[in-house]
Structure 1
Amino acid sequence: MAFFERHGIEEKEAFFFFTRDNPSFPLHFHRAYEVIIVNEGELCLTIDHKEYRLHPADTALIFPNQMHEFTTIQESNITIVIFSPELIGDFWAEYKEFVPENNVFSLHTKPDWQKLSSIYNQKSFLYSLCGSLIEETAFITADHSSKTKVLYRILLFIDKNFMNDCSLKTVSTELNYDYAYLSKLFLHMTKMTFSQYLSHYRISHACYLLKNSQQSINEIAENCGYTNLKTFHRNFYNINRNSPTAYRKTGDRTAAVL
């Protein structure tokens, strides 16, 4: 069974990276994108049941909710970058219902990690990775057929319908699964209720719109699925400990570098 990590749900426009020697990590998935760059050695990476052997300069761009795991072959040194979909909003909007046929490509220029404290350099770096991936592979509609991907299907449903009347009851009808079963499955795998996850998702998108659009707060609330403005303000404050107006003014963009 894969486990769910909260990357891309709790961080506001998150971007962080770290380097590891001889790493291994079990099957998992998350809303954030993940980049794996092999600096030395060899890594075995599995993405949605497809196995890759990565060598120095090989780079994997893993899409939101793609199930993946990796293990070192003898020895390796890798750099991992995890970032929110909102940082590459145009690419995310166009490809959110697709996955690459081949997630791996070669990175010809080694990143200057010291320069990636700026959000503008971060976006430039990430869009260059997206461009390289587009040049290297075709894209296919995400596969939802496996039983192990029930939660994946729920998360994709939220991606497409969070701005509307999105509820677990609607999901259970759409996916033809028992409501109680989906409720227990969701809580077990994410450690959050469906409504908690939906609130975090909606507020995360609201943060993106506050920083990247001229929409009014009323419009943003409506575009994030809130019909009641008081509920939007309450949920926004509970998650961010700040009001939407104050958040928009502060320029609250932080990059955590580990």
Structure 2
Amino acid sequence: MIRATEIVHFPAPPAPYYLECGYTSYAPGEAHPNRRNMGKFDLILMKSGTLFIGEEQRKWGLTAGQSLLLLPDRYHYAVQPCEEDTTFYWVHFHSVCKWAEFPADQQIALQSEQHYHEFLTSPYDIQLPKMWDMPYPERAYQLMETLLQTPGTRQSSAFWTQQQAFEELLRMMDLRQLEQYTSPAVAVAEKTEAFIRNNYRTELTSGDMSAALHYHYNYITRCMKQVYGLTPNDYLQHYRLEQAKLLLLKTEWKIAEIANYVGFRNTPYFSNRFAGKYGCSPQQFRRQFSHTPVVRLRTKS
């Protein structure tokens, strides 16, 4: 298995979504068409033969079991015609989120505070390899066959079958699901995130995190900044405030009770941080989104 030299990052949610797919056969002498700025990702999964294809200045000779992710804003072209019978599956998909391509050894935080605010959850960074040897090619081919069969079924059922098969394919291609590809920084950041989520109601200190995770706090902070764009303390406060928002909507607890429950021991400080993040006080947020029963007055007969 070869290591990917470049990785395409997709913050999710929302995850990339499926558009269309196909199965292509080339005889000797035939070649892949030249295209520029096609506006969608093109994932090629090789089944047999050799496909000679390029993207801008890059060139590949793809063989069975290999995959290549062509980007939507680049020039794709045939390097040379096929020399033997060549077959491959292809999938077109789109992403509405900001995506980026980086060298495999470079960690980058694509997530932003805006992303956290919009989706009320910490986003997951899907990492798809540019070109690699697929670890489970036969399973990938099975998923592609499932996608190819859906056009002959009712649209109401085909939609869910397509999305499920495509998401399973993404999961298989996601380097973060494979331990040998997960960088130390990602592993530490994910452990830190899980620790914070499990202990956010307590008074967490840098010493608590270092003792629990067995890393120096400065290293933990560096990993969190690289992967999530937030320090551990920033993430802790973000998660506490998001839990407070849920309690404001789901319960009738007093503000002080909610503040204490999510880990803020000082209610005015909690209200100040809440207003700074969401632009309104906890009480205003509750009034804005809570349902107020309509009181009907009886008229005299």
Q: Structure 1 length as normaliser, TM-score?
A: 0.49
Q: Structure 2 length as normaliser, TM-score?
A: 0.43
Larger radius of gyration: 2
Q: Which has the higher contact order (CA 8 A, sep 6+)?
A: 1
